[in-house]
Structure 1
Amino acid sequence: MVPPPGNSADGFEHALLIRRSLANGERAYNPTHAPEGTPLAEIVRTAGARWAIEECFQTAENEADLDHYQVRHYPAWYRHITLAMAASAHLTVIRATTCEKGDAGTT
Structure 2
Amino acid sequence: EGSRGPMRSRFLSLRVRPAGVRARRLAQAAATAHGGLWDGVLPGVTLLVEWPEGAEAPTDYWLSNLPAGTPIAELVRLAKIRWRIEHDYRELKHGLGLDHFEGRSWAGWHHHVTLVTAAHAFLTEQRLAPKADTADSPSTRSWTPSKTC
Q: Same fold (TM over 0.5)?
A: yes
**C-alpha displacement at 1:53, in angstroms?**
2.1
Based on CA coordinates, which of the two structures has the bigger radius of gyration? 2
CA distance in 2, matches of 1:53, 1:6: 28
Q: Give the one of 16, 19, 29 matched to 1:5.
A: 16
**Higher strand proportion (structure 1 or 2):** 1
Q: Is the 8 A contact 1:13 1:34 kept in 2?
A: no
Measured against aligned partners, the alpha-carbon deviations of 1:24-81 in whole angstroms (never above 9, x if no partner) come to 8882332211112222221111112222122112112111011333455543332221
Distance 1:41 1:96, change over 3 A: closer
SS at match of 2:66: strand
Distance change in 2, residues 1:43/1:68 (3 Å): same
Q: Residue 20 and residue 82 in structure 1: after superposition, are their counterparts in 2 closer, same or farther (change >3 A)? A: farther
Alignment RMSD: 3.7
Aligned to 2:142: none
Q: Corresponding residue for 2:84?
A: 52
User: Cα gap change, 1:76/1:47 in structure 2, threshold over 3 Å: closer, same or farther?
Assistant: same
Matches within 5 A, 1:72-87: 73-87=105-119
Alignment of 1:21-36 (within 5 A): 27-36=59-68
Alpha-carbon contact 1:19-1:28 (below 8 Å) kept:
yes
Q: Which residue is equivalent to 1:14? A: 45
User: In the alignment, does 2:71 pair up with 1:66?
Assistant: no
TM-score, structure 2 as length reference: 0.45
Show structure 1 runs of 5+ residues with no match: 102-107
Q: Are 1:16 and 1:29, in contact at CA under 8 Å, matched by a contact in 2?
A: yes
Q: Which has the higher helix share?
A: 1
